Chain A
Amino acid sequence: MAEGDCGPSGPLEPARKDWETHVLAPALKRVPESNRPFKTGSGEPLEALYLPEPTSEARYLERVGFPGQYPFTRGIQPTMYRGRLWTMRQYAGFGTAEETNRRYQYLLQQGSTGLSVAFDLPTQIGYDSDDPLVSGEVGRVGVAVSTLRDMERLFRDIPVGRVSTSMTINSTAAILLAMYLVIAEQQGVPLQLLAGTIQNDMLKEYIARGTYRFPPQPSLRLTRDLFVYCTKFLPKWNSISVSGFHMREAGATAAQEIGFTLANAICYLDLAVNAGLDIDAFAPRLTFFFTAQSDLFEEIAKFRAARRLYGRLLKDRFHAKDPKSMMLRFHTQTSGVTLTAQQPENNVVRVAIQALAAVLGGTQSLHTNCRDEALALPSEDSVRLALRTQQVLAYESGAANTIDPLGGSYLIESLTDRLEAEAEQYIRDIEQCGGMVQAIEQGYVQRHIEEAAYEYGQSLETGARVIVGVNRFREEHEPEPAIFLVPEDTEKKQIDEIRLVKKSRSEQKVQASLDAVERTAHTDDNLMPVILESVRAYATTGEICQRLEQVFGEYEPIVS
């Protein structure tokens, strides 16, 4: 495409016909194409060969352009990784705060350049470790944080002024961010220097991830309160990470991942604008999170298409003026759903391909999955290998030496155009539903994801799609690999810890601060200041959520 002019009347068309007749046709007679389906990972048909579009340099400038310049197809920075490599940020957390703190120290020693906190499910949904409702779940898929004391232990000896911290937290994002802010205070770090991200993307929780607590409207009110608070006090903090990852992993196609994620972003941008925030003050702190699956070219094109479509949305629809507002910045995690429990060593190769896709797609930060994650939480050895995979890509592969190295590839540009067009159609369909909240209530998004997941499953069963070691190249007697076991005494330790905290705190202060939370929830005032006071008084995550639930109610999912 960047090759220059070759209009419809140029020499390409007759040359192509000549090649098809005299070279291709006889070759196909000798060796016909195999009958395996030539499709992308999302099932889109693929041509055997892509050629320059009958296009012009003007079209290149409009649709592809230069890195660091609108529409940002080739990347958001003019230098990309020639300036600074992506942030190597491994998602980690399990058991108690001490155990996870040790894992963080290890990751930082090994060359990680950012932290990413995995909280356990009770913490994510707003139940304390000693709540009978969550028995068995404490510390399983992340670290348990019930009070500020847990957060203090989690970040012991970690300088929060120098490390950026991403927290996968949604329903309880306000509470966990408040705890982090108190840690910063304790370490003497001014809030305006604090760098990091809260996921804070509730819409996709109703669609795919499932850690909701309150109904959509009050959840979005909390989201809004965080937007306003962060825009005012935390200029380097990303107040949301709009996440396509979980929808894609639940079954969505690449085009759906872009379309549904940007439709969610539209909802959040509207929310911020309606709260009175200036688009150019808010949008630069809105960030994204995508998966990288195994179809290398489709994934690279996906990132490029998402960037261009988002740039256009911000410029044309939200009338942003600052180019920073039009930049789609994103974190990537390699795909969990593509990892196999069978022949788990093969996952090392999958992760390397997926990570390469993220890098060639211009990601700002990256988590590489571990080989044993289809079986359990990863061991320390697996975590190191996953990080080393990123380091090999960064320092040995040459992938970081050129900006958007596949830009101009006929295939990549064609896939980018197609994914962008399809994603835009999904956004229009969601508008037809009345917006994202309505689309979720009508089950529109969930239905599309479920259908795509079913088709994917069927393609594995018929063998149309091959997964090595699963439906082909199987091994009869596979040795059972050693897996990482979460310490069994976590729950007991946590319960003891909460008891100690409750003994040492001022009950009067706690109750007064919780009363303030409940009172404020009834009004339209920002909840962040009162949540901060509660956290400071060592009120628990569960206590704060209980008060909010009194006012907001609990979400009852629609089951189809």
Chain B
Amino acid sequence: MDTRVSETKEAKRIPQRVLIGKVGLDGHDRGAKYVAHILRDGGYEVIYTGIRRTPKQIVETAIQEDVAVIGLSLLSGAHKRLLQQVMDLLKERDASDIVVIAGGSIPSADIPDLKAMGIAEVFRPGVSSQSILETFASLVKARRPAA
């Protein structure tokens, strides 16, 4: 089945749901809100959690809302610990099929560790909307057969 949003009538009727959120104590939400906006424009149904959510709240919301992707923005330097908690909770709740993407001030040296814990993609500063949309589309598409 073709899951490319905005390209088939079916996909337009049932837009893909994604969660964009801020986990931890950091309140810098300019990037997260921008990404939520371009995803909405790109045809996704976006659940935006707002700032200062705990890993547990993120995972609960993701499961309740049945999202395909969780996109988390982190600028405080606490990304490793917080993302590990999100991944562990997803596993615990048997929801590891949800794709997790991270973005923000994340040093490139940390990316291999994040990928190893199962983060599908890490967006660093300067990434274009187009590239974000393409990444979401391909990750959603790749996920579908396994789900």
Contacts and interface: CB of A to CB of B under 8 A. Distances in A.
Contacts of B33: 450, 453-454
Given A342-B125, A342-B126, A137 B78 contact: yes
A374 B78 CA distance: 15
Interface in B20-46: 24-30, 33-34, 37-38
Interface in B62-78: 76-78
Contacts of A470: 126
Contacts of A124: 25
Interface in A139-198: 140-141
A134 B25 contact: yes
A527 interface: no
Interface in A235-257: 249-251
Contact of A136 (B30, B48, B52, B78): B78
Given A136-B80, A377-B77, A480 B29 contact: no
Contact of B27 (A211, A375, A486): A211
A376 B24 CA distance: 17
Contacts of B1: none
Interface in A75-125: 121-122, 124-125
Contact of B25 (A125, A205, A450, A483): A125
A500 interface: no
Contact of B30 (A140, A251, A483): A251
Interface string A470-490: 100000000010010010000
Contacts of A454: 33-34, 37
Given A136-B78, A140-B77, A454-B37, A340 B25 contact: no
Interface in B83-142: 105, 107-109, 124-126, 128-130
Summarize B's interface: helix, strand, loop or mixed: loop
A290 B38 CA distance: 29
Contacts, number: 84
Contacts of B26: 121, 141, 210
Contacts of B80: 136
B99 to A, nearest CB: 22
A369 B12 CA distance: 45
A49 interface: no
A461 B49 contact: no
A321 interface: no
A190 B129 CA distance: 56
Contacts of A136: 24, 78, 80-82
Interface in A207-230: 208-211
Contacts of A8: none
B32 to A, nearest CB: 11
Determine which residue in B49, B82, B105 has the highest number of CB atoms from chain A within 10 A of its CB, and name it.
Answer: B105
Nearest to A483: B107
Contact of A337 (B25, B30, B52): B30
Contact of A340 (B28, B76, B125, B130): B125
A279 B126 CA distance: 47
Contacts of A453: 30, 33-34
Given A340-B125, A461-B128, A557-B51, A141 B76 contact: yes
A340 B50 CA distance: 25
A1 B33 CA distance: 43
Interface residues of B, number: 33
A48 interface: no
A135 B81 contact: yes
A457 interface: yes
B27 A210 contact: yes
A559 B30 contact: no
A133 interface: yes
A341 interface: yes
Given A453-B33, A453-B34, A376 B124 contact: no
A454 B33 CA distance: 9
A374 B76 contact: no
Contacts of B48: 559-560
B3 interface: no
B30 A250 contact: yes
A379 to B, nearest CB: 13
A559 B50 contact: yes
Given A457-B34, A480-B108, A483-B107, A250 B81 contact: no
Contacts of B37: 450, 454
A375 B105 contact: yes
A489 to B, nearest CB: 14
Nearest to A138: B78
Contacts of B128: 461
A250 B29 contact: yes
Nearest to B82: A136
B118 to A, nearest CB: 18
A557 B109 contact: no
Interface in A352-386: 374-377
Contact of A121 (B30, B54, B76): B76
Given A122-B25, A137-B78, 11 more contacts: A121-B24, A121-B26, A210-B52, A250-B28, A375-B105, A376-B105, A453-B30, A457-B34, A461-B130, A559-B48, A559-B50
Interface of A: 121-122, 124-125, 133-137, 140-141, 205, 208-211, 249-251, 337, 340-342, 374-377, 450, 453-454, 457, 461, 470, 480, 483, 486, 557, 559-560
7 tightest A-B contacts by CB?
Answer: A210-B27, A136-B81, A559-B50, A121-B25, A136-B78, A341-B125, A140-B77
27 contacts: A121-B76, A122-B25, A135-B81, A136-B24, A136-B80, A136-B81, A136-B82, A137-B24, A140-B77, A210-B27, A210-B28, A210-B52, A211-B27, A249-B30, A341-B105, A341-B126, A342-B126, A374-B125, A375-B105, A376-B77, A377-B77, A450-B33, A454-B37, A483-B107, A486-B77, A557-B50, A560-B48
